[in-house]
Structure 1
Amino acid sequence: MADDKSKTGKPDRDRINVRENYEVTYWTNRFDVTPEQLTNAVASVGPMVKDVARYLGKSA
């Protein structure tokens, strides 16, 4: 299911949705990683930004 763009806020900012191209673009630039690295990180630790950042060795 796609993101409901009308429902934004803290819970939405705490998660990475790799099915949305604009989120993949944002987070790959933010963490300086490839889309594949981001997708693998989310698959390994889940969509929470703090967990993905820790997995990638980056700051959230």
Structure 2
Amino acid sequence: MSDDLDNRGPADRARVNVNESWEVRWWCKQFGCTEAQLRAAVKVVGVSANAVRQHLGKR
């Protein structure tokens, strides 16, 4: 883990981790969705952030 306090977010931003509550909150804020929507998208398309973004209709 980095000591850079300005870098707040998942270490691997290419993959959505729904097993850490703070990451779920971070991703929900990034995608503008609810936790249920995020979990459903990950279940359908997998953990790729780009695939989840596309599934949710976000840019």
Structure with the bigger percentage of helix: 1
SS of residue matched to 2:25: helix
TM-score, length basis structure 2: 0.79
Which position in structure 2 is the counterpart of 1:38?
38
For residue 13 of structure 1, report the CA deviation from its aligned partner. Answer: 1.5
Structure 1: runs of 5 or more not aligned:
1-5
What is the alpha-carbon root mean square deviation over aligned residues?
1.7
Question: Structure 1 stretches (4+) deviating beyond 4 angstroms?
Answer: none
Number of residue pairs matched by the alignment: 52
Residue identity over aligned pairs, in percent, reads 41
Q: TM-score, normalised by structure 1?
A: 0.78
Give, in whole Å, the separation in 2 of the partners of 1:18 and 1:24: 5
